[in-house]
Amino acid sequence: MTTEATRSTARQTRYTGYKSYSYLTPGADYVEFDLDDELDRVPAYDLGLTTEEEERARRLLDDNVVISLHDHPQVFPRDISQIRDYIRTGREHTGYLGLSRSGMTAVFDNLMDGTACVTSQCGWKWSDITYDIGMRLSDIAHQDYVRVVHGVDDILDAHETGGLGLVLCLEASTPIENEVDRIDILYGMGVRQMGIAYSEANTLGSGLKEAGDGGLTVFGRRAVERMNKLGIAIDVSHSGDRTCLDTFEASEKPVLITHAGARGVWDTPRMKPDEVLKACAEQGGVLGLEAAPHTTLSHDHPLHSIESVMDHFTYCVELMGIDHVAFGPDTLYGDHVGLHRIFASNLGVHDAHRGPRYEQVPYVAGLENPTECFPNIIGWLVKHGYSDEDITKVIGGNIMRVLQEIW
């Protein structure tokens, strides 16, 4: 099954062609950039499915609630060297067209996060994060295909009406500094999922690039308690191992690992050890499998592709159980490898990827962007003999179950 074949038969959506900020005049109201393609940026990935398998995969994509637990569904400049100038305008464009062809019901949208350098070179500043959220909300308010998700009913309604839900997320709580009430403010702005720390330590706990992990701080425990009370899902994807375990212990609600893989498959700090993965499952949480370039590699498939990612999937299903695994591909529309190169220090790329040597790829074949991810994930699962019940769980059912408890 190719991505293009799936696109032609994906469920009908109510998308009518809106493009970001089209209510304004480009060049006058904002700086215009030549943005990358949302469709057909790379060749379609062929899984080699039979006609019967293709039909089954399409049915599973169309009929079920499909959720990405982590993505950045924005469109970046075709010339990725312009990325910092683009971000300084504060107007990242949402890939509405690409999302309308993805088959997804909802996507956890992680905004600018560590690339939020509107006014600062370093990212994560409160003013820049709130600027980013406010600008994106203004754009979303001018169209009627995408909605901001405030609860599980919004996801169900999006599925029934041909819409798409965006769950506003932050990969780290760094912008709240030492102000726990800022969590309430973010909740009021629509944020429904937040990470503890992103690579670098902050006032809540340690990030995964730190040599020493002091665990969740006293303030971090207060923040976890507040997120539990508000109904904000907690993520520990970029937190250190000790901080992850402390967060599981401190939280009264299940904790998510929205985008990671297994250190038992690829030994880098960015991946989670068995102890953390099993503790996440035991606490009721869910893991989303990561697919950002050069993260979820495997020794069987060292050139990063969907096959590498699915090596992590099979390992984690056996370790954690099928009820605790999902997908958070962490994709975008544009040159993801180039973005990592430019923002390497902001995102802690080199520290997070310490480990086995690997050959770089220009993109992750089969999981390059938000549009192609779930058609190919479902096709792979069909090809490898997974039941409809298990596929329904990992493409959205497990996430819906845990969100009912968290939100």
Sheet holding 287-289, edge to edge: 257-260, 287-289, 325-327
Nearest partner of 287 among 323, 251, 339, 336, judged by Cα: 323
The range of the structural domain enclosing residue 145 comes to 3-406
Contact (Cβ atoms closer than 8 angstroms) between residue 327 and residue 68: yes
Greatest Cα pair distance in the chain: 56
> Is the four-CA dihedral 87, 89, 94, 98 of positive or negative sign?
negative
Name residue, tokens 């050139």: 303
> What pLDDT does residue 7 have?
42
Q: Can you tell me the distance from the alpha carbon of 384 to that of 402, in angstroms, rounded to the nearest whole number?
A: 26
Any idea what the Cα angle at residue 402 is, between residues 400 and 407, rounded to 5°? 90
- Strand 74-75 and strand 93-94: pairing? antiparallel
Q: pLDDT band at 1, cuts 50/70/90?
A: very low
Mean of pLDDT values over 371-380: 98
pLDDT, tens digit (0-9, with 9 covering 90-100), for 242-274: 999 999 999 999 999 999 999 999 999 999 999
SS3 233: strand
Q: Can you tell me the distance from the alpha carbon of 363 to that of 368, in angstroms, rounded to the nearest whole number?
A: 6
Name residue, tokens 């305008």: 89
- pTM beyond 0.75, yes or no: yes
Q: Based on the number of CB atoms within 10 Å of its own CB, is 211 exposed (0-12), middle (13-18) or buried (19 or more)?
A: exposed
pLDDT, tens digit (0-9, with 9 covering 90-100), for 346-369: 776 666 667 788 999 999 999 999
Q: pLDDT band at 48, cuts 50/70/90?
A: very high
- Residues in contact with 311: Cβ distance below 8 Å, sequence separation at least 6, in sequence order: 265, 296, 298, 300, 301
Q: Which comes out higher in pLDDT, residue 280 or 211?
A: 280
Q: Can you tell me the distance from the alpha carbon of 277 to that of 279, in angstroms, rounded to the nearest whole number?
A: 5
Domain count, the chain: 1
Indicate the Cα dihedral angle 261, 365, 97, 158, nearest 10°.
Answer: -40
CA atoms within 13 A on the CB side of 297: 22
Q: Is residue 219 pLDDT above 80, yes or no?
A: yes
Structure tokens at 232: 């904000």
Contact (Cβ atoms closer than 8 angstroms) between residue 208 and residue 270: yes
Cβ of 32: how many Cβ atoms within 10 Å?
A: 13
> What pLDDT does residue 123 have?
86
Q: pLDDT band at 10, cuts 50/70/90?
A: low
Contact (Cβ atoms closer than 8 angstroms) between residue 38 and residue 100: no
Structure tokens at 248: 């599981």
> Is the four-CA dihedral 247, 311, 72, 153 of positive or negative sign?
negative
- Residues in contact with 25: Cβ distance below 8 Å, sequence separation at least 6, in sequence order: none
The enclosing domain of 8 has a CATH number of 3.20.20.140
pLDDT, tens digit (0-9, with 9 covering 90-100), for 155-169: 999 999 999 999 999
CA atoms within 13 A on the CB side of 59: 9
- Residues in contact with 153: Cβ distance below 8 Å, sequence separation at least 6, in sequence order: none
> Is the four-CA dihedral 88, 89, 90, 92 of positive or negative sign?
negative
> What pLDDT does residue 349 have?
65
pLDDT, tens digit (0-9, with 9 covering 90-100), for 268-285: 999 999 999 999 999 999
What element of type H or E holds 67?
strand 67-71
Return the beta strands (E) in 82-199 as ranges.
93-94, 106-109, 146-148, 164-170, 191-195
Q: How far is CA 135 from the centre of its chain?
A: 20
Nearest partner of 237 among 267, 264, 218, 209, judged by Cα: 209
> What pLDDT does residue 352 have?
65
Contact (Cβ atoms closer than 8 angstroms) between residue 256 and residue 288: yes
